[in-house]
């Protein structure tokens, strides 16, 4: 027996809202594991899912089916990058990219965003994409406080962005 689509959707929305509240991508693996266990044991999540599957498989279902795509989809949205860059959310995008996430605006500006720890790939992707089309406008680097809290730690990244002619570099903690 499989989980009905309406139940799956309801539980997924509940868990994703909770993941938003918890800043899921910033949690350690141990913390995430604790939440998987907690949700497995609650009546509103694990109890409902246990009606449609072997209760021993509920935790894996929560992790691999309901939450696996959360981080990928949450980070794919340009809304946060647009907001910190002062762009309207309805700005026209001509092309979107993944690995790292980014977009080419119709006016030729290339934008990319990722975790700060992935800065090299992000800046080089901007350079490569702009080499093909447009200009390297902005990189938005998130979760920067962990590894790049000090100006001295950010200096090498800022120097690389400047040399690659990236007009704006935004750090988000």
Task: Give the containing element (helix H, strand E) for 98.
Answer: none
Give the pLDDT of residue 70: 86
Length of the chain: 173
Question: Beta 135-142 vs 109-115: how paired, if at all?
Answer: parallel
For 68, 80, 100, 101, 143, the CA distances from 113, given in Å and listed in that order, are 20, 9, 7, 6, 11
Largest CA distance in the chain: 58
Determine the Cα angle at 37 with ends 33 and 43, to 5°: 150
Domains of the chain by residue range:
5-76, 78-171
Q: What is the pLDDT of residue 1?
A: 61
Find all residues with CB under 8 Å of 137, minimum gap 6, and list them.
Answer: 105, 109, 110, 111, 166, 167, 168
Helices 68-76 and 5-22, interaxial angle, to 10°? Answer: 60
The pLDDT profile of the chain, 173 residues, written as one tens digit per residue, is 689 999 999 999 999 999 888 988 778 889 999 999 999 999 999 999 999 999 899 999 999 999 988 877 777 889 889 999 999 988 999 999 998 999 999 999 999 999 999 999 999 999 999 999 999 999 999 988 888 999 999 999 999 999 999 999 999 87
State CA 113 to chain mean position distance: 9
DSSP tag of 3? P
């Amino acid at each position: 027996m499989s989980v009905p689509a309406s139940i799956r959707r309801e539980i997924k929305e509940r868990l994703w809202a909770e993941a938003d509240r918890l800043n899921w991508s910033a949690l350690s693996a141990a913390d995430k594991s604790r939440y998987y266990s907690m949700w497995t044991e609650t009546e509103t999540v694990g109890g409902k899912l246990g009606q449609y599957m072997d209760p021993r498989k509920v935790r894996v279902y929560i992790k691999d089916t309901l939450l696996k795509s959360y981080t990928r989809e949450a980070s794919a949205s340009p809304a946060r990058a647009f907001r910190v860059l002062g762009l309207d959310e309805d700005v026209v995008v001509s092309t979107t990219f993944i690995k790292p996430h980014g977009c080419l605006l119709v006016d030729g500006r290339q934008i990319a965003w990722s975790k700060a720890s992935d800065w090299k790939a992000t800046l080089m992707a901007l350079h490569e994409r702009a080499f093909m089309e447009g200009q390297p406008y902005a990189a938005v680097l998130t979760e920067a406080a962990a590894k790049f809290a000090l100006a001295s730690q950010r200096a090498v990244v800022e120097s690389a962005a400047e040399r690659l002619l990236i007009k704006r570099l935004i750090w988000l903690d």
